[in-house]
Every structure is written in C-alpha cells, then in structure tokens.
Structure 1
Amino acid sequence: MYKNQKITVLSHLLVWLTLFCLPYLLSYGQEQEINRVIAHFWIPLVFSAIIFYFNYFVLIDRFLFSKKTTLFIVINVLIIITFLFLKESIEDNFFKEIIKKRIKTDDRVGPPFKMAIYIQMLSYMAPLFFSIALKSTKRWVKTEAERKEAINFKLKSELQHLHYQLQPHFFFNSLNNIYSLVDVSPDQAKSSIHSLSKLMRYMLYETNLEIVPLSKEIDFLKKYVDLMKLRVSDKTSVTCNFPSEETGIQIAPLLFISLIENAFKHGVSATKESQIKINMSCNNATVLFTVENNNFPKKTDDKSGSGIGLKNLEKRLELLYPNRFKFKSSLKDDCFLVTLTIKTN
C-alpha cells in the first residue's frame, strides 16, 4: 500500500511538472517572456490545481457522494467566480506592462469580454470534471474490490459448510457399514474401525486445505474401497484402476468419495451378482473419473442413502470449478454409470 501511494504521488508530481513546462515544450526553442507565462499560464494552472485537489480530497466525498449535489455545485461556482476575479485583479495590479505591451503590439481584435470569461470558466471546469471522474473511478474500483471480497468470503463460508456437512455424513455411513459386521465378523469389524480411524485422520487434518495432491486423494479412495470391501459378499466384484504414477495434479479434496459411496449403497445386492468398476485417468491437467455399478434401488423406507453426498458434490463443483467440470449420470440395462470430468487449471 505504501509503495502504491508513492507511485501515485510521483505520478501527480510528474503530470503537474509537465503542465508547468508546457509553454516551453510547445515553443520549439523560441524565447518565452516569463511574465507572460506567469500571468496567462502558471497562475490559472495553480488555480486549476487548487480546484482539482480541493474537490478530490474534500468536496466530492463530503457533498457529491453524500447526495448534496446542489451545495456541491454552488460551492464550485463560487470558487470559479472567485478565481476569475482574482486572476483579473492579479493581472491589473502586477502585470500592467504586459497588458500595455499587448495593446501596442497586437492590432488584432481580441475576443469579447464575455467570451473570454466563458473560455476561462471552461478551463477551470476541466480539472473539476477530471477530479470527479478520477474520484468516481477510484470509488468504483474500491466498491468492486469489496464486492468481490464479500463474494469470496461467502463462497469460502459455503464451501466450509459443505465440507463440514460431508464429514459427519461420511462418518455416519461408515459406522453403519461397520455395525453390520459386528455380529457377523467381529474381527473384520475391528479391522474396519482401524481403517476408519486412518480415513478420519485424513479428513480432519489434511482436507482443510483448498487443494491437495491428487496422489493423496487416490490413496484415501483406495483405503475407503478396501474398507467397503469388508462388508460385501463374494458375489460382489469390485475393480479399481487409478493412476500409478505421480501426476503432479492438485485438486480440491473429497470430490470423488461421494460417487464411490453411492456405488456401494445402490450397486450391491445380498442375493444377486453385483459389479462395481471404478476408473480414474489423467490427461495433462484434466481428471476423468467414472464409476459403473449395477442398480439396486433402495426401498422408500430405507434411509441409509439420504442422497446428501451427491447434492453436496454438485454444489461444491459449481463453487470450486465453475465452467470447468462435467458431471453426467445415466442408467441403462440396470447399469448405473456416472462420469466426472474436472479441468484443474
């Protein structure tokens, strides 16, 4: 901020220095009479600077932006009229020889007095309008920055809420699975609890970041699939295909877990042959994730699959990767296929 202020001050100094040197820059080496430059250029320029900065630092904020437009106009009209009379008074009292010399040497008829006053008023209104434009632009930039900051804060809060919503949902479903193993296979239930503790450690301590390495997310998914395999029968076939090499891709955490959860909820039957196929591939910075499973719809009174996971996923994708993801699902011949494509940059 301090650096930006220094640049602004230097920019203003450079502009005013250029304006003060303008008579000499436009004279192409011709000799300029200093008194004429002072009377007809530098004095009006000083008045213009006063009008500009007085409006920029005081009047615009206090009156124009406070919707006291009439008072703002009246004050500026009085200032301009004062400077017009002050300029004429200075010329009459301190630069009489210039006026006399101009009358003797210049045979051309000058503009009428009213026209001269009108031109001078316009020259004083220019810095006024410029200060309004500059101040309004600065205010708009600040307002826009505050609006974007508010939107970002809202998005982060919403994402955090969705993240915290996903954790108990995941934990609840996993406990349901372990509960089903307690009576049937106590040893598997103990192993599942141990595996669940590792998964929860990842969810609690490593997914608070905005992005994580895809390799960590893959390792998390593999452990979750291994945990889910403990509760399915031999009639269920689960195949997984994940990238084996480091991809270098960074991605938002916990985007794929809901799809795998959904496959185990609705794709496993206790009496029929079931098949779940999980596949992930990477091409440059694009991740393609597909899950294919048999479809065994839940009964209406079965609350084990609330659907919150998929709703959560779609909302997070809209917030994290707007216009950079494709999420499709289809059902054909009792086979449910979901495809998620994410462009990570």
Structure 2
Amino acid sequence: MNRHKNIVFHVALWLLVWSTAWIFSGSDFQFVLENGMVLIFQIIVIAVLIYLTVPYLLLRRKYILFAVASIAVVVGLTLILTNVIPWSGGMVNEPNMGTLPGPRPGPRFDGGRPLQELRRPPSRFFINLLLITIAYIIATLVEIFLFAQRKEEEIIINKNEALQTELKLLKSQINPHFLFNALNNIYALSAIDAGRTQKSISYLSDMLRYVLYECEQEIVPLYKEIDYIENYIKLFSLKSSKTYPISTTFSIEDQNVPIVPMLLIPFLENALKHSNIEKIEGTFINLKITSFTDGIDFELENSKPEHVVVKDDVGGIGIENVKKRLAILYPDRHELVINETSKAFKVNLKLRLHE
C-alpha cells in the first residue's frame, strides 16, 4: 500500500511540474504533443524504481547491482523514448521558419562558421536522458528518506516494547521479593505473639491489595506509596516487643503527587536487611520524604554493622532494580546519589515530575 501511495505522489509531483512548464510555454497544445511521452516514461521509470530496484536491490544493500540496473533502465528507456517514439520532443520547440512572412533570412556567420551551428540546441536524446535521470534521482531520494523514516519509527516502537517488557520483569522481581520478606516476618512473629500476628496479617493484607491492584497502574498518588511504606515498617516492627530505632519524616505538600509504584520500597528493604536494626543498640534508620508541586525528595540513611550480616540467600535485586526503573521511567529527570562509609549507608533520590 505504501508503494502505491508513493507512485501516486510522484505522478502528482511531475504533473505539477509539467503543468507549470506548459503554462509558461503559453498553454500551447503542441507542447503537450511533444513532451507528453516524456512524462509517461518518467512515470514508468519511477514505477520500476519503486516496485523493483529499490525493494529488491537498494534496500537489500546490493548497491552495485542497483547502480547497474538503474543506469540500464534509465538509458534503455531514454533510447526507446528518443528513437521509437518520434513525436517526443523533450521540451525542444524549434520555430517553424516557413510560416514567417517576407524573405527568408540567409545564414549568418560568426568567425567563419554558421551561427545556427554554433547555437545548435542539445540533442533530443540528451534532453530526454536528463529529464528521466532527474525523475529517477528524485524518486530514489524520496524512497531513501521514507525508508529511513519507517526504520526510525520501527526502532522507537521496538524500543518502547522492550522497555515495557523490562518494566514488567522488574515488577515481577519486586513482588515475590516483598512477599518473601513479609512472610518471613510473620513467621518469626508467630512464635512470639498470636495477637500481634493477627495485626501483621492485617498489614500484609493491605499491602498485598496495593501490590496486586494499585501497582498495575503506571503511576499512583504519593500517599498510597507512603501508606505502603508505613505498613511495611509496622509489619517489620511487630517482630519484637522492643522499639526499633526507625524514624520517619513526611513533609507532603501535595499527597496526590504522582509517582511510579514500588519505586522507593527497595531502599527501605535494603536498609532493614543490612543495618542490623534488630540489634537496636548502635543502629538506626532515618527516612525522610519531601514532596512539592513538581518533585519528590527521598532521603534514607541507615547504620552499617562492623561485620556484614547475611540474613538470607535471597537478595541483590533491590537497588539495581531501582536504578534500571529510574533509567527507563525518569530519564534525565532524576538524581540518585548513594554515599557509603564504614558506619553508614545513605541514599538521596530527587525526582522531577515534569520536563
């Protein structure tokens, strides 16, 4: 279908060109008789280009064959037009001297040679070759441009599909990881207090509802993400009767500021896992979220134990996961700074919601 549209475009273009030339020639019907066949052969050579030489040679990178075939087609059609079609003039209109009244002017000379010989117009073959070649070259350039445009559109579509696939994969990594950690916490709590176990199941129910339903959307209001974070901390805190040194500060100017779901929680998971917060003494987690009209600031700092504490065999997907999602969802609109010392691990994430 695109090829049919292309041939219609080129026919319309050359009809416009020849119509303009016909108007400037004085709208003489003789002009149509002498040059109409040139237009027809231009259309033929363009059709050969669009339906044969471009798709089967040029686009398949057979450049030498394309060049040879192009020269053969252009020269062959020009020879047919010039020698087989006797009334094709190629825009050469010689005056009819026999119709002029009065005596016929004699030949004039310039430097010993007849002036008519010095000013002899180009041959009909050359003019026809020039016109057909121009049509062929213009059509080739248009086809190359349209092909490049189509390839660019395909690249954009494929890239978007790849990004969506990667996002779905990253989400599928988050949810099982979250559920695994939550169930571990409830299991640990069940051996301590049945009543608090019921509360933890209630928190888990709210969190699962958010993960299974809200997270299917591309963006959610910030307050829902904060509710999820608070429930996560409450669920974790129920593991012990002691108070964990976890502080949270939420300065929310607009609670409906949009954010990608499950973007912040991996940082908290990482802090709870590696800060050795269960030790309580000498440990800490400080969380601060600030939102304004067109941005969100997220700060999280946690203590680091002197020796690495291995909690489970599952892990390693948290921060790397977030970095990939940020690169896809907030390209050039985020700033992630991670500072690590021997005693603390600090994350500072700034999101700009608009370009």
User: The TM-score by the shorter chain falls in which range?
Assistant: 0.7 to 0.9
- Post-superposition shift, 1:181? 1.1
Partner residue, 2:208 = 200
1:183-230 deviation line (CA, Å, top 9, x unaligned): 122211221122112211211222122222323222222222222232
Give the SS at the match of 1:21: helix
Counting only pairs closer than 5 Å after superposition, residues 45-124 of structure 1 correspond to structure 2 as 45-66=39-60, 67=62, 68-69=65-66, 70-87=68-85, 89-91=86-88, 101=96, 108-109=116-117, 115-124=123-132
Listed as ranges, the gaps of 5+ residues in structure 2 are 106-114
Counting only pairs closer than 5 Å after superposition, residues 134-283 of structure 1 correspond to structure 2 as 134-232=142-240, 234-267=242-275, 268-283=277-292
C-alpha distance in 2 between matches for 1:239 and 1:220: 16
Q: Is the 8 A contact 1:173 1:304 kept in 2?
A: no
State whether structure 2 residue 38 is matched by structure 1 residue 44.
Answer: yes
Alpha-carbon spacing, 1:46–1:341, altered in 2? closer, same or farther (3 Å): same
Alpha-carbon spacing, 1:204–1:90, altered in 2? closer, same or farther (3 Å): same
- Post-superposition shift, 1:177? 1.6
1:277-298 deviation line (CA, Å, top 9, x unaligned): 2111123322110112222366
C-alpha distance in 2 between matches for 1:116 and 1:6: 31
- Post-superposition shift, 1:157? 1.2
C-alpha distance in 2 between matches for 1:137 and 1:251: 39
- Post-superposition shift, 1:256? 0.2
Give the SS at the match of 2:290: strand
C-alpha distance in 1 between matches for 2:219 and 2:280: 41
Alpha-carbon spacing, 1:164–1:292, altered in 2? closer, same or farther (3 Å): same
Alpha-carbon spacing, 1:200–1:242, altered in 2? closer, same or farther (3 Å): same
Partner residue, 1:95 = none
Partner residue, 1:339 = 348
Q: Is the 8 A contact 1:274 1:294 kept in 2?
A: yes
Alpha-carbon spacing, 1:262–1:206, altered in 2? closer, same or farther (3 Å): same
Give, as a single letter, the amino acid of the residue that structure 2 aligns with 1:52.
I
Counting only pairs closer than 5 Å after superposition, residues 283-302 of structure 1 correspond to structure 2 as 283-296=292-305, 299=308, 301-302=310-311
Q: Is the 8 A contact 1:60 1:72 kept in 2?
A: no
Listed as ranges, the gaps of 5+ residues in structure 1 are 93-97
Report the TM-score when normalising by structure 1.
Answer: 0.82
State whether structure 2 residue 323 is matched by structure 1 residue 314.
Answer: yes
- Post-superposition shift, 1:13? 6.6
Partner residue, 2:333 = 324
Alpha-carbon spacing, 1:125–1:281, altered in 2? closer, same or farther (3 Å): same
C-alpha distance in 1 between matches for 2:98 and 2:210: 91
C-alpha distance in 1 between matches for 2:280 and 2:257: 40
Equivalent pairs, count: 334
State whether structure 2 residue 29 is matched by structure 1 residue 34.
Answer: yes
Alpha-carbon spacing, 1:288–1:251, altered in 2? closer, same or farther (3 Å): same
Q: Is the 8 A contact 1:64 1:72 kept in 2?
A: no
C-alpha distance in 2 between matches for 1:33 and 1:90: 15
Report the TM-score when normalising by structure 2.
Answer: 0.80
C-alpha distance in 1 between matches for 2:205 and 2:255: 27
Give the SS at the match of 1:207: helix
- Post-superposition shift, 1:72? 4.5
Give the SS at the match of 2:231: helix
- Post-superposition shift, 1:334? 2.3
C-alpha distance in 2 between matches for 1:221 and 1:271: 20
Alpha-carbon spacing, 1:198–1:38, altered in 2? closer, same or farther (3 Å): same
C-alpha distance in 1 between matches for 2:57 and 2:340: 65
1:114-140 deviation line (CA, Å, top 9, x unaligned): 654223312110111111111122122
Percent identity, aligned pairs only, is 26
C-alpha distance in 2 between matches for 1:320 and 1:155: 9
C-alpha distance in 2 between matches for 1:82 and 1:7: 27
Range moving further from structure 2, 105-114 or 291-300 = 105-114
- Post-superposition shift, 1:159? 1.4
C-alpha distance in 1 between matches for 2:311 and 2:294: 39
